Amino acid sequence: MKSFDAIVIGGGQAGPFLAARMVEKGMKVALIERKFLGGTCVNAGCMPTKTLVASARAAYVARNSAVYGVNIPGEIAIDMKVVRARAETVTMNARNGLIGWFAGMDGMTVIYGHARFEDPKTVSVNGETLTAPRIFLNVGARPVIPDLPGINDIDYLTSTSIIHLDTLPRHLAVIGGSYIGLEFAQMYRRFGAEVSVIEHGPKLASREDEDISDAIADVLRSEGIDIHTGVSDIAFARSSDGITVATDSARIDASHVLIATGRKPNTDDLGLDAAGVISDKHGYITVDDTLATNVDGIWALGDCNGHGAFTHTSYNDFEIAAANLLDGADRKLSSRILAYALYIDPPLGRVGMTEKQARASGRKIMISTRPMSRVGRANERGETKGFMKVIADAETKKILGAAILGIEGDEVIHGIIDVMNAGTTYPALQWSVPIHPTVSELIPTVLGDLKPV
């Protein structure tokens, strides 16, 4: 049996950085990764997909260049092999960077293999047994494949496999109208494929307010994406030239099908029962406000604990654990204000409560909206789709939440994120003097228009 000061299972966006911090403190650490260092973000998520989004936007801008007085003769052609290779290069650079970083770190042992608990202090991997007083789980999540009629008879894609396509689909059917599905839908439409989005719920991006959801649908429809919501029945069958997707309201002749119906944690084969670690009915590991499980000496970080399926929330889990365990701090998971983005174009930046959540909280609230067509930068760039929305508490004057669907919305939202984390009131931001011409300069104007509802 090999002994360590700590064992980290999973090489995503929390575990490796925590392992590195512990090594800096003189600890002996084993980092066990089943497949690739970097987790979903590096290998099948943020980095490759946003690289693909950038290629798709380049195609979109080129096709619409005449609006800006730039004439490109001939048809805009897409070389999907180059598109794929570019995304793969970004992934490999990041992955190899991690490999090189850990290789030069005394006290770090990287092991590739499938780890399972033998007891609360012991795991087995590749036929070896390892023990440590502290074990950290950062095992991530994977796509959910729903049990739909005919799904096992077709060759479907997931968010993991679609990034390796080096040919352009004739017609991509996206099953699921949430964040992952919508990003791929717009991306492949801009590459030149016909695209249909099929969503079981009544609206796209169901987490958002109805006005945001409707605006997202308008953006996608304006680019020729076929959207079906409220679909109760879906079935698949092979056809002579692809896949037939039959719903209760439509029949789609697709060449490719992307299943984007959610993700589930990679916790079902860790041997959690042997360690006594509790998880919920969906497989998410139950943690307290410090990310500790019910078993002393075991923590769960990142997607597998169900408190945020984002790279930045996973990294923040690392920050919380490291601060508390290594720096004597008292940071809490409950202090985190959730923010995220939807990377369609224009992007959606989101933080805090939706209007629906704010109303349900019983607070007296104020709301303000402003169309992006009123933003100078948006008009100058010819990108006026979307709008800004801010919700505030009428009594405390603190911002409860915001949504910015529009040009640079994923960046502009950070001004509001900062104010909310600082705990200050919205007038402090309202009377700032932003730079002109920017998208952010409209934030004080939006705040000045807050009205009780």
- DSSP per-residue string spanning 151-203: GGGS--B-TTTGGG--S--SEEEEE--SHHHHHHHHHHHHHT-EEEEE-SSSS
CB atoms within 10 A of CB 129: 12
Q: What is the DSSP letter of 362?
A: T
Helix, strand, coil content of the chain in percent (nearest 5) = 35, 25, 40
| Residue 427 falls in which region: left (phi positive, over 0), alpha (psi -120 to 50) or beta | alpha
Ranges of beta strands (E only) in 55-115 are 108-112
Separation CA 377–CA 407 (nearest Å) = 9
| Beta bridge pairs of residue 264 | 142
The number of CA neighbours under 13 Å toward the Cβ of 257 is: 28
Separation CA 318–CA 335 (nearest Å) = 14
Catalytic-residue membership of 228: no
Separation CA 231–CA 233 (nearest Å) = 6
Residue 323: partners with Cβ closer than 8 Å, 6 or more residues away = 329, 331
Kindly name the residue from 171, 307, 312, 436 that is annotated as catalytic: 436
Least Cα distance to 26 among 1, 4, 2 occurs for 4
Structure tokens at 303: 């997607």
- Tokens 């959730």, located at residue: 338
**Angle made by CA atoms 153, 158, 160, in degrees to the nearest 5:** 140
Q: What letters, b where the CB count within 10 A reaches 16 and e where it falls short, cover 276-306?
A: ebebeeebbbebeebbbbebeebbbbbbbbb
Measured in degrees and rounded to the nearest 5, phi and psi for residue 341 equal -140, 150
Q: State the catalytic residues.
A: 436
